[in-house]
Structure 1
Amino acid sequence: MPDFTAPVAAGSTVSCPSATNTAPTLPTVTDACGNTLTPGAPVISAALTCEGTRTYTYPYTDCAGNVHNWVYTYTVEFNDFTMPANGTSTVSCIDETDVVPTAPSVQDACGNTLTPSAPTVNTITTCTDDRIYTFTYTDCEGNTHDWTYTYVINNSAPTITSCPADQTFCATTAGSYLIPVIAATDDCSGTLDYEYSISGSTTRTSTGTDASGTFAEGVSTITWTITDNCGNVSTCNTVVTIEPLPVVSLTADPLAGCDPTTINFTDQSTGNINIWEWEFGDGGISGLENPSHTYSSGTYSVTLTVTTAAGCQSTTTMSNYVTISPNPVASFAASPAVTTEDNPTITFINQSTGASSYEWTFGDGTGAMDFAENPLYTYVGNGSFVVTLLAENAGCTDSTSMIVVVKPTFTFYLPNSFSPNGDERNDMFRPFGTGWDVDTYNMRIYSRWGELIFSTTDVNHGWNGLMPDGHTEAQQDVYSVRVFIKGLDGKEHDYLKAVTVIR
């Protein structure tokens, strides 16, 4: 039997070794007689892990024992693999870039997971540099790709958590003032550097969080600067105002007087003053700018405290500033207070208190004065006289007055006859005299038979020679007269006399 013709070897190109695990489609082979031959089991070359060739060899044998092999060859050609997008993230601090990023899972073109190389990391020198991690992936054919992860550092400036508020102080003698400290935080580890610069009325610079110290009067500005490790800077300002103290001064007029005296006070302080507090030393106070105050006797210290609109105070005390002298109390007695011309000298007994000198006037129109403490004065004539004592002490005076009486000397004259004949001469009968207490006067006239002809208690009402009926004339005769009267000295006088009516 003739030999059969074997088919031409075949093959194909694939991209992955796993594709070679699929048996190829066998060709139809017939012997010389047209009978279809069945191939024997194939001989398969070793499986591939990467690129290469893998063959399937099938033997065909006819009934005559003629043998031919049919070979199918797989050629593996790897495709290049695809990389994922590079990674990136933004961080605040350099030390956050020390965390190695997780490399992505990458497969070759056939789905095999590739293991990256250890990452390479660049060196950064400033906070503005990016840190890049580079991972290299290589497949079995040698295709190589890098995957990078970039840390972008966005370091923020320090956060000022407590910038001292603006400060206002009243000036002090020392001139040193306490400023609150500044405080700040940073989003990264490391030490913050603090500096400050003062401008305006005060100029100085230093480091640290505390700018307390000397400040001049006026307005100063503290500029705080906080710097982190990356050179990021934050600033803030604090305005410090040192208000001048008011200059307190006062005057008063008068500074001395007699009880009571009203003192007028005048504030002469300088500064933007809007509050006045006066203490007058006797418990009295005032909030007026220029008050008046009435004092009783004593010596007083005066205190004035002034406050400016900024709340700055100054105080002064004028020790023993006001002296009010007590007024003397004038008083005296007269011995005797009532006398007569027979004894016209009166002793004045000074009963004043708190006086050092005296001035007496005696009220008799002569202008006579006396400066003795207890003078004697002799009056000429009778009358009521206002005696005045002026008592004085350190310019303070008091006066008092009293009336003394010098009564006339007692005299009494009673005519022994009168002629009531209407010729207007000796027509009225009455007594005459001086030194009488007229309120005690009483005169009665009787006939020789004891009949009451006339009576009166009025010294100016005399008898006109008529009978009690007021019409009948009393006959010429001798009548008895009874007169009772007291002298101004209080002595009683009782007279019984006779009077002759002449017709």
Structure 2
Amino acid sequence: MNLQGFFYICVVKRYIYFLFILLFNQLNAQKVVIYGQDTICSNNGAATVFLDFQNKGIPPYTVVYSIDNIPQDTIITSLNVYNIKTKIPGTYLIEYFSDAVNNGLDSISGSAFVKVIHKPSIQLFVSNDTISITSPKVSFHVTSDKVLKSQLWDFGDGSPITNKNNPTHLYSIENQTNLGKYLLSDLVVEDLDGCFDTISYYIFVETDHYFWLPNSFSPNNDNKNDKFCLYYDGIRDKSFLFNVFSSDGSLVYSTKDIDKIDCNLQKGWTGKNIKSDKLLLPDVYIYKLYFQDLQGWKYQKYGKIILSL
């Protein structure tokens, strides 16, 4: 073999060796892929962008990524798949990558995209922020910078949750357990993009009372105004005392049981003398009413009752 042939063989072997080394490095090179496509609402959880370190290089891995070409903080991790939790919208790319041994600028691929949708901005308007037994109704109205798909209302008084838009609610306070307290009314809205927002409003339950009673009745059994009765609310039943006196000051009727003269129970005083159980003569009688409201305030009421036949 002449010198030229020997030189040619050496060149070929060296070329094959470099091809082998190149192929070996390609097969064993560390590679990172960035991927992910997520849409989130501005007030919800974070989006996820994935860094996938392939071919099992030598950790730790060092990565610098960018959002819309703006470099972010360096990430150093030994995880084969690293999750970037983010609420920043934009296109995510890798700017620099290496494992513990080699720089991997030639082994970068992929991109990720994050879209952030702004939540609806809502305002809640109420007709009144204080309710009572005599006035338990509140009207609600919601405005938003986005079109709302749904409204979900919890009025805080134990009534069923409703999905009515801009409702008027009659608060349930008959059980008197919420008197003198604040009721927390909650609203959850959803827009057409599927984003949610919540708002809360306190309604104060004022303790008040009312009663109504007529100034005349005619117990003549014609089924018209035959009984003297009253309508009431917000009164402590056990504090109640109702007395009726004749024009000469004699006690002709008395009861501590408010149910006995409750119009809602179809009850009432029939005009009979409490002692003789005989129907009283037509006349003008005087009543005195004593009671406490639900806060414990004491009241006395006086008035006239005309009994006619």
Provide TM-score, normalisation by structure 2: 0.52
**Distance apart, 1:222 and its partner CA:** 0.7
What does 1:285-364 align with in structure 2 at a 5 Å threshold? 285-297=161-173, 298=179, 299=181, 300-321=183-204, 323=206, 325-328=208-211, 330=213, 331=230, 334-336=244-246, 338-339=280-281, 346-350=285-289, 354=293
Report SS of the residue matched to 1:263: strand
Q: Which of 248, 264, 283 in structure 1 is aligned with 2:158?
A: 283
Q: Are residues 346 and 205 of structure 1, via their aligned partners in 2, closer, same or farther at CA, if it must alter by over 3 Å?
A: closer
Q: Is residue 100 of structure 2 the alignment partner of residue 224 of structure 1?
A: no
CA spacing shift, 1:164–1:296, aligned 2, 3 Å? same
Residues of 1 paired with 2:185 and 2:66: CA distance? 46
Alignment of 1:398-413 (within 5 A): 404-405=307-308
Aligned 1:203-282 pairs, distance under 5 A? 203-208=70-75, 212=84, 215-216=87-88, 219-225=89-95, 232-255=106-129, 256-259=131-134, 261-282=136-157
Match of 2:13? Answer: 133
Larger radius of gyration: 1
Going from structure 1 to structure 2, the CA distance change for 1:159 and 1:322 (only over 3 Å counts) comes to farther
Instruction: Report the TM-score, using the length of structure 1 for normalisation.
Output: 0.35
- CA contact under 8 A between 1:265 and 1:290: conserved in structure 2? yes
Q: Which amino acid aligns with 2:90?
A: S
Seen in structure 2, the aligned counterparts of structure 1 residues 259 and 225 have a Cα distance that, compared at 3 Å, is same
Structure-1 residue corresponding to 2:268: none
Alpha-carbon shift at residue 194 of structure 1 (Å)? 3.6
Give the AA of the match of 2:287: F
Aligned positions of 1:2-401 closer than 5 A: 120=10, 132-133=12-13, 152=19, 153=22, 163-171=34-42, 177=46, 179-186=48-55, 194-199=63-68, 203-208=70-75, 212=84, 215-216=87-88, 219-225=89-95, 232-255=106-129, 256-259=131-134, 261-284=136-159, 285-297=161-173, 298=179, 299=181, 300-321=183-204, 323=206, 325-328=208-211, 330=213, 331=230, 334-336=244-246, 338-339=280-281, 346-350=285-289, 354=293, 373-375=301-303, 387=305
**Number of residue-to-residue matches in the alignment:** 223
Structure with higher RCO (Cα < 8 A, 6+ apart): 2
2:68 partner amino acid: S
C-alpha separation between the residues in 2 aligned to 1:229 and 1:292?
Answer: 67
Alpha-carbon separation, structure 2, partners of 1:352 and 1:190:
83
Deviation at 1:193, TM superposition (A): 6.3
Name the SS for the 1:251 alignment partner.
strand
Give the aligned residue type for 1:264. S
Cα deviation per residue 1:124-167 (whole Å; 9 max; x = unaligned)?
xxxxxxxx317xxxxxxxxxxxxx85754467597867644223
Listed one character per residue, the Cα deviations across residues 97-120 of structure 1 (whole Å, up to 9, x for unaligned) are: xxxxxxxxxxxxxxxxxxx99x74
- Counterpart code for 1:266: H
For residues 285 and 56 of structure 2, the distance between their equivalents in structure 1, rounded to whole angstroms, comes to 111
**1:288 CA displacement:** 2.2
Normalized per residue, the structure richer in helix is 2
What secondary structure, in the 3-state scheme, does the structure 2 residue paired with 1:328 have? strand
Letter in 1 for 2:65: Y
Q: Distance in 1 between matches of 2:42 and 2:165?
A: 23
**One-letter amino acid of the counterpart of residue 13, structure 2:** Y
Q: What secondary structure sits across from 2:13 in the alignment?
A: strand
**CA offset at residue 213 of structure 1?**
6.9
More strand by share: 1
**Residues 1:193 and 1:254: Cα distance change in structure 2 (over 3 Å):** closer
User: Alpha carbons of 1:262 and 1:193: their partners in 2 closer, same or farther (altered >3 Å)?
Assistant: closer
How far residue 272 of structure 1 moved from its aligned partner, in angstroms, is: 4.8
Q: Percent identity?
A: 16
